[in-house]
Structure 1
């Protein structure tokens, strides 16, 4: 597998190009019978485990993440054309570990790098949402097919700084033409 991109060194147009080039398996089109449990778990901090031990090879985690799917019942599975295995997800299957900001006001764009190396630009197709209590919000970014990334605390603080620097009546951030209020729902 190729090395992870350096988010800080990329411009937003370069990030968009990389995202468009990435071809993911069509897991939403695969419907094999459920085969059992994968004996895998994704911890709240984004660490992947197999049979209780952390998966130490980032390339394996990246590979498994490409066949991860969220089921209509809210559960998560690893799916291929011939098998479907349950995987436990403690919170969100991904963690947004870095953010890049370009522009300002309603022309701002926010790109996030996930713990798997994936790049996601917040916007209509990838909304930000805030769960939890008002004094302890948990921000999430929609990645794909119902899968979300928990925004890591340091990245959340960057979002909060942007939101508080705005001049609107409600603290929030713009990305790709969409306004996201920074408050727990």
Structure 2
């Protein structure tokens, strides 16, 4: 036969209770790329549609209980949050806040969260598996694991999700890229 058959990969969640992929509906290109990438990595994600802040008007934002942190200015651009940034951090990246995927209410001990513009490092799967095994062997109790300042991908424990919820982030909105490190004493 001129064709080679490759058996389908068995997908899993890398030992996490859930793997979330956050995506804006209008970004079908990113969704398709990430689903192909995760398939290749053997990872089974739960797709979560992000709220598009650009599509929200002021009354909708207010009805959702979102309140800007008074006086907040983006540290890089020196401006208040944009409408797109309001939708992004308030709902998609913050699954611990979102009513569509309540990590805390579902009792998910360990969750992995990917945004749709993430690029994976070489040997990501193996390195993450080894890291989780080392943490388990050492008995290290963790709340949040992230690799960089941006919230492109991170692991969140149930205790970490509850800590974030207790801070009531929608009542004093700042970008999730700022909020996560502040909550875990890791802000640059």
Per the shorter chain, which TM-score range? under 0.3
Higher relative contact order (Cα pairs below 8 Å, separated by 6+ residues): 2
When normalised by structure 1's length, the TM-score is: 0.23
Structure 1 or 2: larger strand share? 1
Identify, as 1 or 2, the structure richer in helix.
2
> What is the TM-score of this pair, normalised by structure 2?
0.22
